[in-house]
Structure 1
């Protein structure tokens, strides 16, 4: 009897603390998408962040000893500029605001701030892990793997506000790479093929994309999870890729 009670308590604790990384898809609208084009992507790039700025693609990559910041020509995948982080840092999400590039680190509690020529302007301290990064034109928007998104002052990194990401019934954790567009935050959910669409004011998940099966290649090297999303305002499409993927896909979301 004692063992049964302990077992029931463990089950209850699991239910209450289960980290929701997938969606209850029956309560959230599924969006359709169309693949417009695909481009070459460095299969050695452990993609942590993507952003389009001035018709070029900026990418932050991770892993200790392999983290970098890159400027790429979109269609060819050619590297136009690149700097490597010290091997002490695991690079994470990036964004560009007010002609400054911001790059997070995973567990090192440091954000790097560069000019557009990749010259380091300063380092900023923050507490907790760094995952994804985006901006709404005023604030930096940051994820750390929890159910929260944090809005931070771009000059001081001080917290202005935070929102809790949820569907109708569940909290959503493992929020990773971010992209802001027109009042909504698009976010990769780590270890899934989902991108969710989050109301930037309320944190409510209004829709999702299921990108399982989008990677089509005969590449035989290592391939990791879907991660990386950037909005292209010139033609209202998104670029998406994954860690160690040999391809970047341009997709159009059909709302």
Structure 2
């Protein structure tokens, strides 16, 4: 009887060892699964925002693209039947020149390169090309997919279509010459919208958020990030229902002479003059 009891105790001992070993492995596995994504990329640096000034903005303008030359802004507005390209006096907000798009087009991002204005359309697969001074249409290109934001690096047009890719295009043919995927420490970053190329980096609005990100166009890595929430809460009326009207931040351009950015949003009443630090 004693030998049988000893035998049973030995079996129970090894069973308990196995249970403890299995539990430890499960705990380690659960711990690993709960950890955040680690792709070797550092989290983006947080940018501070200094508001220098503010100017009136057309509250009917569903801003899709913004450019500036001296104290003059060039803006592309969206929505079918309301899309337009405008030349605007910064301080007054008054339109100096305006070109209305045909009602079947939804205007999107713009950029200025070599005396030409390039304007994307959302789902119509058209990029219109205008003379910078006169707004006369001098060409157009077709492309696949949607058109969202656009900028240039002095050599190539750079556009996006709402995913995490930046497409570098030849300005004479509109052919894609390079594609860069945008990524941060959490993985691919989708919904890239309005773009602005500044001193070797691309600043981008992220659609349906209050963020502007700073992207290295060589690696695609997000190196810095600005949160516009405080600016919006202080200066943008709560009567703009973003959920229904889409009145999110969208519009970035850079004044190289004064080293400052102009930022706005869809249907916003103000254009803000800011510096990031």
**Fold agreement, TM-score > 0.5:** yes
TM-score with structure 1 setting the length: 0.87
The answer on whether the counterparts of 1:53 and 1:96 sit within 8 Å (CA) in structure 2 is no
For residue 53 of structure 1, report the CA deviation from its aligned partner.
2.0
For residue 213 of structure 1, report the CA deviation from its aligned partner.
2.7
* 3-state secondary structure, aligned to 2:276: strand
**Structure 1 residues not aligned, in runs of 5+:** 1-25
Q: Which residue in the other structure is 1:111 paired with?
A: 127
Give the distance between the partners of 2:164 and 2:92, measured in 1 at CA.
36
Q: What stretches of structure 1 move > 3 A for 4+ residues in a row?
A: 217-223
Q: Which residue in the other structure is 1:158 paired with?
A: 175
2:79 aligned with 1:63: yes
Q: Which residue in the other structure is 1:188 paired with?
A: 205
For residue 168 of structure 1, report the CA deviation from its aligned partner.
2.9
Cα deviation, 1:153-180, whole Å, max 9, x if unaligned, reads 0111000101000013411000000000
TM-score with structure 2 setting the length: 0.80
Give the distance between the partners of 1:222 and 1:45, measured in 2 at CA.
15
For residue 122 of structure 1, report the CA deviation from its aligned partner.
0.9
Aligned ranges for residues 47-196 of structure 1 at < 5 Å?
A: 47-116=63-132, 117-196=134-213
The answer on whether the counterparts of 1:47 and 1:62 sit within 8 Å (CA) in structure 2 is yes
The answer on whether the counterparts of 1:222 and 1:244 sit within 8 Å (CA) in structure 2 is no
Aligned length: 230
* 3-state secondary structure, aligned to 2:53: strand
2:268 aligned with 1:251: no
Cα deviation, 1:10-30, whole Å, max 9, x if unaligned, reads xxxxxxxxxxxxxxxx82210
For residue 48 of structure 1, report the CA deviation from its aligned partner.
0.1
* 3-state secondary structure, aligned to 1:27: coil
